[in-house]
Amino acid sequence: MKFLLDTHTILFWLSDDDRLGPKARELIADPANDVLVSAASLWEIVVKTPIGKLKADIGEILEASERSGFLPLGIEPAHLAALASLPAHHRDPFDHLLIAQAIAERAIFISDDKNAPKYPLQRVPCSGRTRPASRPRPVSRPRQER
């Protein structure tokens, strides 16, 4: 199966945050699944870190994403065509693009975005317990040969 991670899902996974629920954790950890990380999420992290909306190191995130076996997803013309056809239930351009990518890629979106159910896509909630992890640490999953 193919999954696209929302930005918060990536951050929860890489920091082993308890806010990532057991179902999402199991799907991401399964080496039989293709787990996509969008350039839009990485861009969002780079944009929001210096203005204080996120606390993250993009270099560490890139390295940990690779170690976790995540597949990079660029922004392609098909994604932009899907974006142009979507209703504007969202004012956040990053979330709107991620939803368009999930639709265009026929990927299941792992997200707690409250607006995602308004769109024609498959979604798995990322949430679990609300208690944050005691200390962030990267998590790896076995690499599958492709």
Q: Does residue 139 contact residue 9 with C-beta atoms inside 8 Å?
A: no
The count of structural domains within the chain is 1
21: in domain: yes
Q: How many CB atoms lie within 10 A of CB 127?
A: 15
> DSSP 3-state helix, strand, coil percentages of the chain (rounded to 5)?
40, 15, 45
Q: What is the structure's pLDDT at 138?
A: 45
Q: Is 47 part of a structural domain of the chain?
A: yes
For 136, residues 6+ apart whose C-beta sits below 8 A from its C-beta are: 14, 15, 16, 17
Whether 133 has a pLDDT exceeding 70, the answer reads no
Which domain covers residue 9, as residue numbers? 2-124
Count CB-CB contacts under 10 A for residue 46: 13
Instruction: Among 38-47, 86-95, 103-112, name the one with the lowest average pLDDT.
Output: 86-95
CATH of the domain at 109: 3.40.50.1010
> Would residue 33 count as lying in a domain?
yes
134 within some domain: no
The DSSP bridge partners found for residue 34 are: 2
- Residue 144 inside a domain? The answer is no
Name the pLDDT band for 128 (thresholds 50, 70, 90).
low
CB 5 within 8 A of CB 70: yes
pLDDT over 90 at 139, yes or no: no
